[in-house]
Structure 1
Amino acid sequence: MSDSKLALRLRPSAPTGLSAVGLAFKRALVSQCHPKMLAALFLPFIIALLGAIILLWAFWTPLTGWLNMQAADWEIINEVDQWLLAIGLFSIKLYLIPMLAVAILLPLSGILGLVIAAVFVMPIVLRHLEKRDYRGLSRQGQFSTAVGTWNAIWVGGLFALGWLVTMPLWLIPPMPVLLPIFWWTFAFTRMLRVDAAIEHASPQERRMLWRRHNRQLWLIGFILSLINLFPPAWLVLPVFSALVFAHFSLEALRQLRAHNVIDPKTE
């Protein structure tokens, strides 16, 4: 048996499936505690905060006015509202309309923060991990800035459009929970899987990684979308999610190259 084959057999088996996902989250948690990554939290947070302030200032009055007009046709809401007023309680519309307005505007600022993290923070994350955890992993990406920026724009735009179009479904239980999970899973996965691999993986390697690890990548996005349901997590998720996808993608790329995998479909 040749030395190379013997070394391959003696090499510890790479984590796969759920273990690979768990390892990515574990490594991301450790990396997040580094001072450089803690400092990186401020950029997407400040952008998202400014975006929320601007959106609320510019659209609060017209949006709540439009929602009040639409609420006039909501028969069930009107019946409940009249019943509550008749027994001397409160108007449900007084609280429902502002809650709907916030549910529309805040996620739009959140996706803006994720776009900023994908375009500007992910390169910082990749350089940090490259020096500390993935030394020797060469960069073979092409047109990374252009491809990553375009991907972040179209995913963010589709998220915003889809969020607004599906808002009426929030009145149907359990859609108020399922829809945010669906749209944020889409945003995390389709945006960050590209930016995490675009600088180091060649186009052929990216296609192979996404085909082989499609389920794990969507599982990571799903887990992050569940965490996103808790507002305190919004402070760290843009950077933490970038770290999780970067750790998973770079480790998968390292294992792919270590085993000299040749896929005839990519030739």
Structure 2
Amino acid sequence: MSIVFKAIVSAFRDLFRLGIAWTIVWPLIASVLFWLIVGFIFQNNFSEIIYQILGEIGIGEWLRNLEPDWIASLVLGLFNLLMFIPLVIVTTLVITAIFVLPALINLVARRFYPDLKRENGGSISGSIVNAIMASVIFIFIWIVSLPLWAFGVGVIIPFVAAAFMNQQLFRYDALAEHATKYEINRICSENRYSLWGLGLLTGLVQFIPFINLLAPIFTALAFIHFGLEHLKYLRMKEVAKENINQ
């Protein structure tokens, strides 16, 4: 079994073994409440931003003059939803990566990788910078791709964006406590396509109703197993190489 699919299976198993029910729920609840409050306070601003975006693609004025008014409100509500969903997803993932991932790493490492030495090659500042960069690019992809929804091509964009977000956000944090900086860079560079594949597979879970409630923690667990498994093999190879040279 490839390490990608092994990580998927291990993450699914851990969802039910590690006793993390509340951990699964609270980041999503916090994200939804946050954006509902922000949306309520700044609803006029958001509506104006949507009209500006639609104006850029030539349908903003048409929407303003659309009759009856409830059709225009329905179309605007749909675009608000298309903005709301990625904001909730990215906020939930960032909360999971920054606040929840360390506890998950301890649970997984203690149970499945107890002999893996911690080198602390990552840092909190590195995690925050990585999360900000991943979030900005993710939201940018969604905004830029909005006009493509009118042509049907936009349907593939959420999957690409989810794959990018997952692998960019979690690959660093999953290794930060155990790997050195050199090991983090090597594992990420040597497994670029596998990381994208894992990002896409875990991203698909985000679009399955009800199951997507588990998506952030499932994704975090999958990348923890992927990263620590690769780190274990890398160190075994280095030890074997040293023994041969001796």
Q: Specify if TM > 0.5.
A: yes
Give the distance between the partners of 1:237 and 1:243, measured in 2 at CA. 10
Give the distance between the partners of 2:56 and 2:181, measured in 1 at CA. 51
Q: Report the equivalent of 1:204.
A: 182
Q: Does 1:123 align with 2:102?
A: yes
Aligned match for 1:184, one of 162, 166, 170 = 162
| Structure 1 or 2: more helix by fraction | 2
Give the distance between the partners of 1:158 and 1:22, measured in 2 at CA. 27
Deviation (angstroms), 1:107: 1.2
Q: Report the equivalent of 1:61.
A: 44
Q: Does 1:138 align with 2:117?
A: yes
Q: Report the equivalent of 1:156.
A: 135
Paired residues of 1:52 and 1:106 also in contact (CA < 8 A):
no
Task: After TM superposition, list the pairs within 5 Å mapping 1:78-117 onto structure 2.
Answer: 92-117=71-96
Give the distance between the partners of 1:42 and 1:67, measured in 2 at CA. 30
Q: Report the equivalent of 2:230.
A: 252
Deviation (angstroms), 1:237: 1.0
Consecutive aligned runs of 4 or more in structure 1 exceeding 4 Å deviation: 68-80, 82-85
Give me the TM-score of the superposition, normalised by structure 2: 0.85
Q: Report the equivalent of 1:238.
A: 216
What are the ranges of 5 or more consecutive residues in structure 2 without an aligned counterpart? 242-246
Give the distance between the partners of 2:50 and 2:123, measured in 1 at CA. 42
The letter of the residue matching 1:148 is S
Give the distance between the partners of 2:99 and 2:205, measured in 1 at CA. 22
The letter of the residue matching 1:112 is T
Give me the TM-score of the superposition, normalised by structure 1: 0.79
What are the ranges of 5 or more consecutive residues in structure 1 without an aligned counterpart? 1-17, 263-267
Q: Report the equivalent of 1:29.
A: 12
Instruction: Report sequence identity in percent.
Output: 26
Q: 1:172 to 1:239 in 2, by over 3 A?
A: same
Give the distance between the partners of 1:207 and 1:253, measured in 2 at CA. 11
Residues 188-230 of structure 1, C-alpha deviations (whole Å, 9 max, x = no match): 0101011111111111111221122111111010112222222
Aligned match for 2:2, one of 19, 22, 26 = 19
Paired residues of 2:53 and 2:60 also in contact (CA < 8 A):
no
Q: Report the equivalent of 1:46.
A: 29
Residues 97-146 of structure 1, C-alpha deviations (whole Å, 9 max, x = no match): 11111111221122011001111111011100111111110111234222
Q: Report the equivalent of 2:152.
A: 173
Q: Secondary structure at the match of 1:254?
A: helix
Paired residues of 1:228 and 1:237 also in contact (CA < 8 A):
yes
The letter of the residue matching 1:113 is T
Paired residues of 1:55 and 1:105 also in contact (CA < 8 A):
no
Paired residues of 2:121 and 2:181 also in contact (CA < 8 A):
yes
Deviation (angstroms), 1:232: 2.0
Paired residues of 2:57 and 2:147 also in contact (CA < 8 A):
no
The letter of the residue matching 2:175 is A
* Higher alpha-carbon Rg: 1
Equivalent residues, number: 241
